[in-house]
């Protein structure tokens, strides 16, 4: 039992190291677009800095101007809040555009590299690998890299900075109330970890099933003349039906 537990711990550590190694390889794809990456990162930092400002201005407006009936200052604070809202919306647009542009540019370069690699493979690979699987790896799986940059790395950095900025203001305002709010954090972290492990396994299963689906369609559509010559339409239709086994 002790050996099994140690083996499980080593396996988890290796998985984390592999993930970090893959992350470093993926971030290495940013090198040709460092300028755009740093612009998006700077905007993420600015957005995180401005995130606690709006609630703070609302607090001042309610406590000092609404309750005291100072309508002139209320109008001025409302204009300030509206201007801040438009400014944050502009930053969000530029940030979204930059991250999506970065992701699509990296995907374009990666597809060119993958295609060049496929052209250099020996014939044995094409004999052993269904063309549908190779197509999925070249097109659909590479597209997942776009999500890493459009909705992944930089967005996560932005969210983490926002959390730090908000927590800083919360602790400055009332550290006792902040600790009460954070009391549920361990439960949320545990739930997020379980959810992450399930999502990773499900994502891998989905990609494998999509590869099998593309391979099945490519082989049978390209070989439809052979299927019809041998009058095997009914048999192939039965093979294409999903299993009734409960997942």
In this model, does residue 16 exceed pLDDT 70? no
Task: Give the model confidence (pLDDT) of 34-57 as tens digits.
Answer: 888 888 888 888 888 888 888 888
Lowest-confidence pick of 11-15, 78-82, 209-213, 215-219:
11-15
pLDDT of residue 247: 41
Mean per-residue pLDDT over the chain, rounded: 76
In this model, does residue 3 exceed pLDDT 60? no
Q: For the stretch 184-216, what's the b/e string if a residue is b when 16 or more beta carbons lie within 10 angstroms of its beta carbon? A: eeeeeeeeeeeeeeeeeeeeeeeeeeebeebbb
CATH architecture assigned to 2-173: Up-down Bundle (1.20)
* Average pLDDT rounded to a whole number, residues 23-38: 81
* Average pLDDT rounded to a whole number, residues 128-147: 73
* Average pLDDT rounded to a whole number, residues 185-200: 81
In this model, does residue 243 exceed pLDDT 60? no
Answer yes or no: pTM beyond 0.85. no
Q: Residue 174: what are its φ and ψ, rounded to 5°? A: -160, 105
What proportion of the chain, given as a percentage, has pLDDT over 70? Answer: 83
pLDDT of residue 241: 67
In this model, does residue 8 exceed pLDDT 60? no
Residue extents of the structural domains in the chain: 2-173, 185-247
44 burial (CB, 10 Å; 0-12 / 13-18 / 19+) is: buried
CB 48 within 8 A of CB 162: yes
pLDDT of residue 240: 66
* Average pLDDT rounded to a whole number, residues 148-173: 79
pLDDT of residue 19: 61
């Amino acid at each position: 039992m002790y050996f099994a537990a140690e083996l499980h711990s080593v396996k988890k550590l290796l998985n984390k190291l592999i993930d970090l190694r893959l992350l470093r390889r993926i971030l290495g794809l940013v090198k040709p677009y460092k300028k755009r990456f740093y612009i998006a990162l700077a905007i993420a930092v600015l957005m995180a800095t401005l995130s606690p400002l709006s609630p703070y201005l609302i607090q001042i407006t309610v406590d000092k101007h609404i309750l005291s009936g100072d309508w002139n200052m209320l109008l001025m604070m409302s204009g300030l809040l509206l201007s801040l809202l438009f400014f944050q919306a502009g930053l969000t647009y530029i940030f979204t555009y930059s991250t999506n542009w970065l992701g699509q540019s990296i995907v374009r370069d990666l597809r060119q590299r993958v295609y060049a690699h496929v052209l250099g493979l020996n014939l044995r690979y094409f004999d052993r690998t269904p063309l549908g699987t190779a197509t999925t790896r070249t097109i659909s799986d590479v597209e997942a890299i776009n999500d890493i940059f459009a909705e992944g790395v930089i967005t996560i950095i932005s969210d983490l900075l926002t959390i730090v900025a908000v927590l800083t203001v919360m602790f400055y305002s009332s550290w006792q109330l902040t600790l009460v709010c954070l009391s549920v954090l361990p439960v949320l972290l545990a739930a997020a970890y379980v959810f992450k492990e399930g999502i990773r396994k499900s994502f891998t299963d989905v990609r494998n099933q999509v590869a099998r689906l593309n391979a099945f369609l490519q082989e049978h559509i390209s070989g439809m003349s052979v299927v019809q010559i041998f009058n095997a339409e009914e048999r192939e239709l039965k093979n294409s039906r999903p299993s009734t086994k409960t997942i």
